[in-house]
Structure 1
């Protein structure tokens, strides 16, 4: 890969006056998804923020501060968290998460010993580019749902209006603003969308979407509670099996991030170190009652738009997230950001990820006159975007599921290895 024309590359430290707002921009991008996972699974939002922030710092340490990745709550483990917690209790779910983190470490050690030759053979540009497109477009329905639908899932012209205004301001800021303002378009768009929503709500009270009651009720200060994990074979097997899918997602995210930055992170610092960082962060989260962690596409999208790839900026965002975990009132304030505002921003963020996959295919010179390339790419796109799913029971009412990005990546690898390079 050739190094992209980044404003700040991974090792660059921006001046403090830029560093803080750039980091806050990343916090806004990750916040909604990170707090949604504990809300859906019954875990603590405070713990999720604490483990996202500290987990990211752990990841930065293990990867030698070379990879600008933010780690937040993983959606892939939601069924396992709910199922194990309901059947055996939250401590056993946390024990399963610890086991998943240890399994990450074992796989990391195998990769370090075996080298990366097999990865380069299994993941040529046609697979990599197609998977990156899937990662972006797989998130597209989420963005459009936030932009168009109200809390009941019904179409709302008000929501769409807010999303369009937010998107328009973000696009204008990204394309036309100069200097420092050109690298904080997400922050500018978010603030503009928030203000527009407040003004609309003041003129039309029926459309007031910002509710400050949660801020008033939240405590000023709180601390995450240490959790003692418990273990049983069902929880361990369930989480380890799910981690097979999340490791495929980790690989896809690492490749996507490398494509955006213009560096091959699977080689330097190495996939074994990025995977180990993810695994240790996941195990660490379990000891604080937080959900397992994963690298976040939202933050990759922010970097793709701003061309700010600084690990210092990501580290700053991690510190802010950790700080918010001790002050629930500030976290509650961020939670007042209306859903359509996040939806409007996500329309651009997720599209940028998909576009980077297209760029990868073009720059790699993938020939779609070749039936082999056409077949591999077609299957990856349809399975990944169309919601392909493989599921089978594990016992005790639980089941293993692999779908979306993970299944598309696996099928792409298998097709690339099975289909001969020379066709009749």
Structure 2
């Protein structure tokens, strides 16, 4: 770890942790909160990988190549991130067609079609490299459980509107040498030293040890947020990653008002209890929710990307990646003569009723969030 004037030019930028004074008041407050979190929540836990697409771009100012994240980072598997990258190219192809740019349209459409058939973690399109990037989600925990959001974490949206905000990770530059505060610098050093955990499978440990050598630098992304539920003293995720605390609350209220009633076939009394809990969460905007004997907490998640001489780390061989590209799945199912119409909801009255309930509850929730009710 180096101070801002400690001869960092003698160290490759990707191996640099550059600590600098924080003159901006909000940044200084955030670093102080991070230091207090080290005392209150001293244990680093979780270490769950997530994935997202990035592209390498050269700036006109200095000509240096820098990797930038594309929209939404936090896919649970590499294939989910590949699908997201395919969607990115389809959007670009559509925009290029509207603009009359045939060269860009053809290149982006071809890239999307390749991703439909091949499990590619990196490809070059129009002279720019694209890569599926791996990060690890890490949660701080202490005697009272996992760390909730900090006062300095942005949370500007009203209930039901968080997804309208810009994605905080879209365009985020993965610059390991960017100046950071003391607390963040220490956290980066701790995570770089945490190559693997006790109890990991041999392949997971081997991949982690290899990554510590091939990607010895690191970058902290903007934090994510999720709801976790306590069960017998342990905590498990109940919602996926969200960009702000309110987005995580919105995910949970959607689960309570819509998904759980329809998918779990809840009775009317239980549905009323879940709805009351969702209404209370909207009203109070708190970090804990108790109902029906359950205890859920809004949890802050650190996200850490390893960096090497060729940029950010991609998926590891041991990462969970069960799905095939979409056209490969389709061809396999056709070869196995799987008839998707066998699952037609019209042949299953109970399934049809659940689908109808899901559709009705979804429409009601969207109308409520749009202020139509």
Same fold (TM over 0.5): no
Greater fraction of residues in helix:
1
Normalised by the size of structure 2, how large is the TM-score?
A: 0.23
Q: Could you say which structure has the greater relative contact order, defined with CA pairs below 8 angstroms and 6 or more residues apart?
A: 1
Q: Give 1 or 2 for the bigger CA radius of gyration.
A: 2
Greater fraction of residues in strand:
2
